[in-house]
Each structure stands twice: as C-alpha cells, then as structure tokens.
C-alpha cells in the first residue's frame, strides 16, 4: 500500500467506533453502491430516506472505480439543510460491519443518523460518509466535467460508468428524484 492510500484508509477509525455496542441488530443506510451491490448478509431491506444530506459525485475512488494515480468519482453525502436523500436501509448484525468497513475504506466514516423507513418507522442507524476532510475527496465540478471524468475511469471493481448507470437505475426503481445524478447520467450518455 502506498503512503497516500494508507492515509485515506478509514478501516481502523471505523473499527474503533462504539456507537451501537451491545446492539444485536443495526440499521445501515446506503445511498450509493450499497443500494445496488448487496454483497453482505442482511435481515431486512427497505427503501428509506435521511434528512439534511444531499448525494454528490464528489468523492474520489482509489480502490473500486479508479486507482490512486487516476481516481474515479463516486458518491458521498454533503450536509445541506432541508435536503432529503433517498436510499435503502438494511438491518444487519454488527459483525457485518467488519467487511463493510473494508469495502468503504477509501475515506468513508461511519456516522450515526436518523432514518425514515418506507413503512413510516423512524430509527437510528449508521451511514458511511466521506467528508471533505478525507484524502480522496475531490469536491465539486460541473455535471459535464463529472461525466467526462467518469467516462474515462476504471478500477478493480470495474468501469466508473457502470457505477453511475447502476446507481441511476436503482434510484429510478426507488422512485427517487435526484437531479444531480440524472444530469450526470444524461451528460455521460451524450458523450
């Protein structure tokens, strides 16, 4: 692992989080690849939303959809008062987080959040967020520039464009309106 990848690795920080210690089941909110790539055991899966966050293709990907030298672009959540982000909630056993921490290790930190499930229940759970302070964060760009970037990136998990197209399809299936994601998808398909 090179020095940069080491600094961007959040596994150890996430492992030391104790927020749900003693709980036998924990809700996890997914808003990016966790919506459509479900390679972890779960007890329940439900459409869900969280408030105060908006989805943005502002996070660099060194390990999935790009490389440390040519990072791809993937989503994170950016704080925005009154915003609502639609995604999917999974009820998981705490042991599941060991593998999820590795999957989300490129800058994402577990954060406790309130979620609203599609059956109206309000629950407390966890979400992985890559904040602007992480070493892989790329930040804002125009939707066209983001589409161009995505069209040229690929990494160990495959083409960056597939991440975008799968996410856009999954959001349509959820009935979620996400102007940012759909605008980038339109730009990409026009290239």
Backbone angles phi, psi at 135, to 5 degrees: -65, -20
Closer residue to ligand SIN, CB minimum distance, 97 or 128: 128
Half-sphere CA count of 36, side-chain side, radius 13 A: 15
Return the number of the residue (104 or 185) whose C-beta is nearest ligand SIN: 104
> How far apart are alpha carbons 131 and 137 in whole angstroms?
7
Region from 11-19, 25-33, 118-126, 168-176 binding ligand SIN, contact rule CB under 6 A: 25-33
- Least gap, CB of 36 to ligand SIN (angstroms): 9
Decide: is 104 part of the binding site for ligand SIN (CB under 6 A). yes
Residue ranges in 58-97 that form contacts with ligand SIN under rule CB under 6 A: 74-75
Instruction: Count the helix, strand and coil residues of the chain and give each as a percent rounded to the nearest 5.
Output: 30, 35, 30
| Contact call for residues 75 and 11 (beta carbons, < 8 A) | no
Dihedrals phi, psi of 131, to nearest 5 degrees = -85, 165
Residue 10 CB, nearest distance to ligand SIN (Å)? Answer: 12
Size of the site for ligand SIN (CB under 6 A): 9
Nearer to ligand SIN, 22 or 44 (CB): 44
Residues with catalytic function: 104
* All residues at 6 or more sequence positions from 100 whose CB lies less than 8 Å from its CB, including other chains: 28, 40, 92, 128
Distance CA 148, CA 165 (A): 14
**Part of the chain binding ligand SIN (CB under 6 A), chosen from 1-9, 32-40, 154-162, 182-190:** 32-40
Shortest distance (Å) from residue 74 CB to ligand SIN: 5
Shortest Å, Cβ 33 to ligand SIN:
3
Q: Rounded to the nearest 5°, which phi and psi values hold at 3?
A: -60, -40
Interface residues toward ligand SIN, by CB under 6 A: 30-34, 74-75, 104, 128
């Amino acid at each position: 692992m090179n020095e940069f990848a080491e600094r961007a690795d959040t596994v150890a920080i996430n492992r030391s989080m104790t927020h749900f210690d003693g709980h036998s089941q924990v809700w996890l909110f997914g808003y990016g690849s966790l919506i459509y790539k479900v390679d972890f055991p779960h007890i329940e899966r439900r459409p869900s939303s969280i408030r105060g966050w908006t989805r943005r293709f502002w996070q660099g990907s060194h390990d999935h959809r790009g490389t440390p030298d040519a990072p791809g672009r993937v989503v994170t959540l950016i704080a925005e008062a009154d915003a609502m982000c639609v995604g999917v909630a999974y009820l998981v056993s705490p042991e599941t987080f060991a593998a999820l921490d590795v999957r989300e290790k490129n800058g994402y930190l577990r954060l406790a959040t309130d979620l609203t499930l599609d059956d109206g229940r309000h629950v407390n759970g966890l979400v992985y967020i890559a904040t602007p302070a992480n070493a892989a964060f790329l930040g804002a760009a125009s939707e066209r520039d983001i589409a161009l970037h995505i069209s040229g990136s690929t990494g160990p998990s495959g083409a960056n464009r597939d991440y975008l197209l799968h996410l856009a399809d999954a959001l349509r299936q959820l009935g979620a309106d996400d102007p940012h994601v759909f605008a980038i998808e339109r730009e990409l398909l026009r290239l």
